[in-house]
Structure 1
Amino acid sequence: MSQDAAFLTDFHHAATIGATDNDGVDRQAATDLDGDVRRWFAGWFQDRGRRVLVDEIGNMFGLFEWREGAPFVLVGSHLDTQPLGGRFDGSYGVIAGMHVAAQIDEAITAGDQEAPRYNLAVVNWFNEEGARFAPSVMGSSVFAGLFELEQMLDVQDLEGVSVRKALADIGFLGSDDGPEAVGYAEIHIEQGRILEREGIDLGVVDRSWYTQKLDIEVLGEQSHTGATAMADRRDALVGASEIVLMVRQVTQDFPEEALVSSVGQLVVEPNSPIVVARRVHLVADLRSGDPEIVQQARQTLLDKIEALAARDNLVINVKDFDVRPIRHFPTAGVELAESVVEGLGLTSRRVQTMAGHDSVALNTMVPSAMLFIPSVDGVSHCEREFSTDEDMVKGLAALKGLVQEMLSGKFVDDGR
């Protein structure tokens, strides 16, 4: 079997773990299915005689050690998914990293290349998606020192299960120290349509967008849907519904696509068909390449929410949540990635990532680089998410070239 075929075989096999009826994957963090894919990941390395570490937040590291005592370049992404999510988001980057490591190791074993300056660790970061446990990008942020470990272990899902208990239940509440990292590389699907629209092979990420979330609690009064006069109702769900529309409408105050915003989750209490809702919890997500735009949108929403609360006799509590500044990826890494792509005869362009990724967290800790491959129709976080085998293989080659350079010290040594 060729190296590309071996990669595609593993990629498509992993997509069967938690597969949905419509070719997606539902494999949320620290569920039984996440445990299944984690055991597959660990077994892949163990079959090759390689150690696997699991740290205290559940991050997994498969180690290729060629120089005793040398630190590690990290490569990877995440294997958890959104509910009814896609096969590609996260998983592509992990499995590409696995096969990059295997191909480099095969060349070293065969004597076709010398052992590089640094060792290599392939990473499956815990709870990147944040679907079951908020905030997202949890495991890599703990590793990078951005989130506090004990606080994250105490986070609970909607059923009251903590991260600590969920990881223990599937056997991945680890105790290992993670490897000493000197650099990080990640490849991912674009989750947008720039590359597809422009017919470009790969995107080289040069910065992330500013993110601001608002944690919103709407408090009304529980009452009978059939017996309470309309004038006497304090309906938290009606108030929350207006806020959902406000969050969408605020984008119209700015140039097209300058701001994206949405509410993705509502928790309604008591959620009975004959009871006016007494409480609704929701999170608004605001993102832009310009922090000032986000701040203006935030203030507009706060003003409108205050007026709504007064008008409808509601109590609405709003807290800032998961605020993430713009992170610029090092120019040396961007230029190195562009050079690698050009050397393969492929095309690239610089892109910004609107979504959060593990590379954004790692970029605060060690020199980091990120590549994108095209997404068909720009669709993501749903079962229809798709990238072609051809594009995945091109990305695999680019990632291998980038990692090879980083293992030799290129760009990585800038941060040491």
Structure 2
Amino acid sequence: MSLSPEEFLKDFHHTATIGATAHQGVDRQAGTAKDGEIRAWFRDWGAERGYPVRVDSIGNMFLLAEWTPGVPFVLIGSHLDSQPLAGRFDGAYGVVAAMHALQEIDAEVQAAGEKPPFNLAVVNWFNEEGARFAPSIMGSSVFVSLMDEADMLAVSDPSGTTVGEALESIGFLGTDSRPEVASYAEIHIEQGRILEREGIPLGAVDRSWYTQKLDIEVLGEQSHTGATSMADRRDALIAASKIVLMVHEVTKDFEEDALLSSVGQMHIEPNSPIVVPRRVHLVADLRSDSEEIVQAARATLLAGIDALTAEHPVDVNVRDFDVRPRRPFPEGGLELVEKLMADKGLSTRRLRTRAGHDAVAMSTQVPSVLLFVPSVDGVSHCEREFTEDEDLVTGLGALTEVARALVGGALQD
């Protein structure tokens, strides 16, 4: 059997019909009905081809090609959940490419009649995006014990629904054992413009950026917008708005793009047009290739918030969370990718990832490889996200080559 680009593209583009939005995006937030629907499609795809699927107790799904019982697995895959009004490539591409890579390698093993040193499995990680349930990269982080499972199951969305309740409601709060893993590989769209600008078909990630979030709560006092004088108001939103601007402005203390920052989520209480807000909850995101830059920006923000409370009659509580150090990927994995692709006549480039990925969590436990294919205009986390079919197919071939090498024992001491 040889890889069928047509069948792969058919399956990949089918995923975009599940949770489809009006402008060719998707909305499949973790633990929602649409997440459940695409999970059922993933499970049924495996069942139709004779591959059993395990679901663990944080909702991770593992589609198995187990040639030798008891032997560890090479794990390949990504995630099928999405941001709200998201692009259709982020995550889903890596899962579908892994499904077809597994099918190809399994056919080779069956035809050869000789079992490789390791089994192979495809993973769909739970809640990589962290849109409905924070923090992100949840399923893979629980898998490698970077996050506590009980704590993550108790995390709730803004409506009060917990992760455990959401998984149970869609039928994917599993009880299956987790496979023992020997190594990991993931392919993803770049979510940046380097590969597109340089005309390079494949990137190999050498490390991730340092990231951290600040959980910020601004407390004022609820009052009537028509009856309360301006001098008597304790408006939480006015103070919160100034904090949002601080988060943006702090990037100017450093060289261009040395620090990335954002406030992407905000909840206002009571959120009524005729009530002065009493509480605002927001999350600030700081990222840099330098931990020192992030810590300097954090210190500047904390000082600015202290000064703000002296000017506004509000209280502000700030909590550090979801702090992720820089994670290196093994040199052996980078060299493996470069050799395999050179043998195929494909150029590659080493990249650093500013975004978080499940491969970053997995790299703390097993030898891991993270591959990128080009993103048109570098746009992601929106409906305009796009990668050409040709690049998707090239990446499928690259992932298959890497997975084939890993089940053969590459990266093992």
TM over 0.5: yes
1:296: how far off?
Answer: 0.2
- Partner secondary structure for residue 196 of structure 2: helix
Residues of 1 paired with 2:276 and 2:345: CA distance?
Answer: 62
Q: Provide the residue aligned with 1:15 in structure 2.
A: 16
Aligned partner of 1:247: which letter?
V
Q: Does 1:330 align with 2:343?
A: no
Aligned partner of 2:108: which letter?
A
Contact 1:344/1:398 (CA < 8 Å) preserved in 2? Answer: no
Contact 2:3/2:104 (CA < 8 Å) preserved in 1? Answer: no
Q: How does 1:188-203 map to 2 (within 5 A)?
A: 188-203=188-203
Q: Provide the residue aligned with 1:363 in structure 2.
A: 363
CA offsets 1:224-281 (integer angstroms, 9 cap, x no match) = 1122111111110011111111101000000000000000000000000000100000
Residues of 1 paired with 2:340 and 2:169: CA distance?
Answer: 43
1:389: how far off?
Answer: 0.4
Residues of 2 paired with 1:262 and 1:276: CA distance?
Answer: 25
1:125: how far off?
Answer: 0.1
Q: Does 1:97 align with 2:98?
A: yes
Residues of 2 paired with 1:115 and 1:235: CA distance?
Answer: 67
Instruction: State the 4+ residue runs in structure 1 displaced beyond 4 angstroms.
Output: none
Q: Provide the residue aligned with 1:129 in structure 2.
A: 129
Q: Provide the residue aligned with 1:387 in structure 2.
A: 387
CA offsets 1:38-80 (integer angstroms, 9 cap, x no match) = 0000001111111110000000000001122211000000000
Contact 1:191/1:379 (CA < 8 Å) preserved in 2? Answer: yes
1:114: how far off?
Answer: 3.2
CA offsets 1:181-240 (integer angstroms, 9 cap, x no match) = 010000000001011011111110000000011000000111111221111111100111
Aligned partner of 1:92: which letter?
Y
- Partner secondary structure for residue 49 of structure 1: coil
Q: Does 1:45 align with 2:46?
A: yes
Residues of 1 paired with 2:301 and 2:366: CA distance?
Answer: 36
Aligned partner of 2:230: which letter?
M
Aligned partner of 2:371: which letter?
L
1:137: how far off?
Answer: 0.2
Residues of 1 paired with 2:97 and 2:151: CA distance?
Answer: 32
Residues of 1 paired with 2:61 and 2:240: CA distance?
Answer: 39
Aligned partner of 1:13: which letter?
H
Contact 1:202/1:371 (CA < 8 Å) preserved in 2? Answer: yes
Q: Provide the residue aligned with 2:29 in structure 1.
A: 28
- Partner secondary structure for residue 371 of structure 2: strand
Q: Which runs of 5+ in 1 are unaligned?
A: none
Please tell me the root mean square deviation across aligned C-alpha atoms, in Å.
1.0
Q: Which runs of 5+ in 2 are unaligned?
A: none
CA offsets 1:74-98 (integer angstroms, 9 cap, x no match) = 0000000000001000000000000
Residues of 2 paired with 1:192 and 1:226: CA distance?
Answer: 47
Normalised by the length of structure 1, the TM-score is 0.98
- Partner secondary structure for residue 212 of structure 1: strand
Matched length: 412
Q: Does 1:351 align with 2:355?
A: no
- Partner secondary structure for residue 158 of structure 2: coil
Residues of 2 paired with 1:338 and 1:238: CA distance?
Answer: 52
Contact 1:10/1:95 (CA < 8 Å) preserved in 2? Answer: yes
1:2: how far off?
Answer: 6.3
Q: How does 1:285-296 map to 2 (within 5 A)?
A: 285-296=285-296
Q: Provide the residue aligned with 1:233 in structure 2.
A: 233
Q: Provide the residue aligned with 2:86 in structure 1.
A: 85
Aligned partner of 2:55: which letter?
V
Aligned partner of 1:41: which letter?
F
Residues of 2 paired with 1:203 and 1:227: CA distance?
Answer: 59
- Partner secondary structure for residue 262 of structure 1: strand
Normalised by the length of structure 2, the TM-score is 0.99
Residues of 1 paired with 2:302 and 2:338: CA distance?
Answer: 42
Q: Provide the residue aligned with 1:163 in structure 2.
A: 163
- Partner secondary structure for residue 17 of structure 2: coil
- Partner secondary structure for residue 110 of structure 1: helix
- Partner secondary structure for residue 61 of structure 1: strand
Contact 2:3/2:100 (CA < 8 Å) preserved in 1? Answer: no
Q: Provide the residue aligned with 2:273 in structure 1.
A: 273
Residues of 2 paired with 1:17 and 1:380: CA distance?
Answer: 18
CA offsets 1:366-402 (integer angstroms, 9 cap, x no match) = 1101000000000000000000000000000110111
- Partner secondary structure for residue 282 of structure 2: strand
